[in-house]
Amino acid sequence: MCGRYSEKQDLKKVEDQLKLRLSEKAKNWKPSFNIAPSQLAPVVTSEEPDLIDVFHFGLVPHWAKDKKVGYKMINARSETLLEKPSYKPLVINNKRCLVLADSFFEWKKEGKEKQPFRIYLPVF
């Protein structure tokens, strides 16, 4: 996952396109060009694959005493997933989700400045 991403479509439209239901929280969610760690974002979970719901962006491990640790846990390396105590139980127990997004951002460092680049697939 990247550090920031966007989902600019109205979830009602996504609900109709994918033939899913919207949770009450998802009905109130507003599209955003700048979804950052800790913010609410739309997802479809493996536990309820017919429902669009919203969760905070980031992973808060079951052992964490402070949920702020989840703000930093947004990336995982596939080659070490089963070695990390934060990710291993999620992989083994098939706890997955589909993050609804239409673009993501990467930054190029130029000296002390960072230039954001939005990466997306054009829709014809």
Give ∠ CA 85-91-93 in degrees, rounded to 5. Answer: 105
Catalytic residue among 7, 15, 47, 106: 106
Q: Mark whether 97 is an active-site residue.
A: no
User: What is the greatest pairwise CA distance in the chain?
Assistant: 47
Catalytic residue among 2, 7, 24, 110: 2
Own/partner contacts of 105-112, CB < 8 Å, gap of 24 or more, are 105/2, 105/3, 105/4, 105/5, 105/6, 106/2, 107/3
Q: Mark whether 2 is an active-site residue.
A: yes
Question: What amino acid positions are annotated as catalytic residues?
Answer: 2, 106
